Amino acid sequence: MAVKLRLTRVGSKKNPIYRVVAADSRSPRDGKFLEIVGRYNPQPNPSIIEWTRTRSAPGSARAHSRPRLSPG
């Protein structure tokens, strides 16, 4: 089982908010996941990424293409 970090959409229509989750690479985007790792809100400028865990799996291409912010 290959585990990757993915973004799952949880926001409403025209209000995207994403969860960063650790999921099996074979599962669909909004399907089963192993653990919620953080949150991503693309609307404010600059975008907000909140991480809840320090351990993580290798990210997917989409998760790596998002902007990175340093904590604090």
Span 2-17, average pLDDT: 88
* Alpha-carbon dihedral sign for residues 70, 15, 20, 61: negative
Name the CATH superfamily housing domain 3-56: Ribosomal protein S16 (3.30.1320.10)
pLDDT in the model for residue 72? 40
pLDDT tier for residue 49 given thresholds of 50, 70 and 90: confident
pLDDT score of 60 more than 80: no
For residue range 13-46, what is the model confidence (pLDDT) as tens digits? Answer: 989 898 888 888 888 877 888 888 888 888 888 7
Mean pLDDT of 55-72: 57
Is 40 buried (19+), middle (13-18) or exposed (0-12) by CB count in 10 A?
buried
Where do the structural domains in the chain lie, given as residue ranges? 3-56
The whole-number pLDDT of residue 61 equals 66
